[in-house]
Amino acid sequence: MIKILPVGPSLINTPFTDKEDINFFLREGVKISDAIDADLIVSGTFKKLLTFMLRFGRSKKYLLWTLEPRFSKHFIPQISYPLLPTFHVMNVYNGIFSDNYFFTPRYPIELNYKGFSGFNSKRIVSLMTYQAGHKWKLFYQGNDIDLCNLRTKIALEGYSRGILDIYGRGWSDKIKVGQSRGKGWREKKIMILQQYNFNLCFENTNWHHYCTEKIWDSIQGGCLPIYYGKGNSIYDDFPRNSFLDYSDFNSSDLLFDYIQNIKLDEFQERMNLCIQAFNQAVRYKQEKQPHQKLLQQTLLKIREILQ
């Protein structure tokens, strides 16, 4: 029996804390243990893992496991620092996702935008925490794969033009319309989106198959997504000329001018392509079961480390 110890709040709502997932591991010969008996210590952040590395040294094995690209910025699956034991990494940059379906909703939608009315305002909404500054830069092979600063810049420029409303934490009260997150946020978010025609919904980080709920929620809320599609795998599931791809514009002025001049027919066509992609992704999720795939990948990683 393999014994593991998950540590830190960063593993809340992950396979290491979910009751059904823990039972899956137990059936496969992996059980939760205490620090003394554990063969493998798992954390979602290096800082938390480091405390155990200093305590136990090379007498234990270590795994940094996270779905959040900001919790681990390690681009290789095994890391060695001077005077520290080697630790293993399973994260966004090391293939933890192999498709776009992990955050896809479970159920299809039946919206159809033929005959859609109320389009005159062409309003845009952005729901995001204020994230700007040097700390959000993230470079890989000389390229900044952070999208937070760019998304913030676009949102502020849209706000200045009077065509974009901002919801979220950290923004000035003079700018934001309301808060984001909190209890019942999922339902509230969809209700907010239903009041708009377009949604600025870039991911925080640009990486292959890192596709969160952002684009799916936009479609479910009836908004045409403004997404960033260069350098990731979103076109595995979306046809060209469906969502508005900012990388096709590379200028907020060009993007906003395009939106102000878009015709109802084009909006309907793009939205229906997005709805078709949404529903197809729901079917793929049911077939491919990305959560079960992630469990199997994690189990294989644990066994590989402890061979």
Q: Which domains does the chain have, with CATH numbers?
A: 2-96 (3.40.50.10330), 124-287 (3.40.50.11660)
pLDDT at 111: 67
d(CA 42, CA 24): 17
On the 0-12 / 13-18 / 19+ scale of CB atoms within 10 A, 274 is buried
Phi, psi angle pair for 75, to nearest 5°? -100, 0
Instruction: Name which residue leads in pLDDT, 204 or 132.
Output: 204
16-25, 30-39, 107-116: lowest mean pLDDT where?
A: 107-116
- Average pLDDT for residues 202-227, to the nearest whole number? 96
* CA dist 173 → 130, 165, 302 (Å): 12, 12, 47
| pLDDT over 70 at 8, yes or no | yes
pLDDT at 252: 97
| pLDDT over 70 at 69, yes or no | yes
112's tokens: 């159809």
> What is the DSSP secondary-structure string of 127-180?
E-----SGGG--EETTEE-B-HHHHHHHHHHHHHHT-EEEE-TTS-TTTEEE--
pLDDT at 109: 86
Tell me the Cα Rg of the chain.
21
d(CA 129, CA 47): 24
Model confidence pLDDT, tens digit, residues 95-115: 899 999 999 998 898 766 655
d(CA 179, CA 151): 17
- Average pLDDT for residues 278-294, to the nearest whole number? 96
SS3 at position 268: helix
pLDDT at 134: 63
What residues have CB less than 8 Å from 268, skipping those under 6 apart? 113, 114, 116
pLDDT at 118: 65
pLDDT at 91: 97
What residues have CB less than 8 Å from 151, skipping those under 6 apart? 126, 128, 131, 200, 202
The percent of residues in the chain predicted with pLDDT above 70, rounded, is 95
102's tokens: 């992990």
pLDDT at 110: 78
- Average pLDDT for residues 153-181, to the nearest whole number? 91
108's tokens: 């299809």
13's tokens: 């709502």
20-24, 114-118, 172-176, 201-205: lowest mean pLDDT where?
A: 114-118
8's tokens: 């830190």
- Average pLDDT for residues 147-172, to the nearest whole number? 94
In this structure, are residues 103 and 92 in contact, taking their beta carbons and an 8 Å threshold?
A: no
| pLDDT over 60 at 152, yes or no | yes
In this structure, are residues 188 and 213 in contact, taking their beta carbons and an 8 Å threshold?
A: no
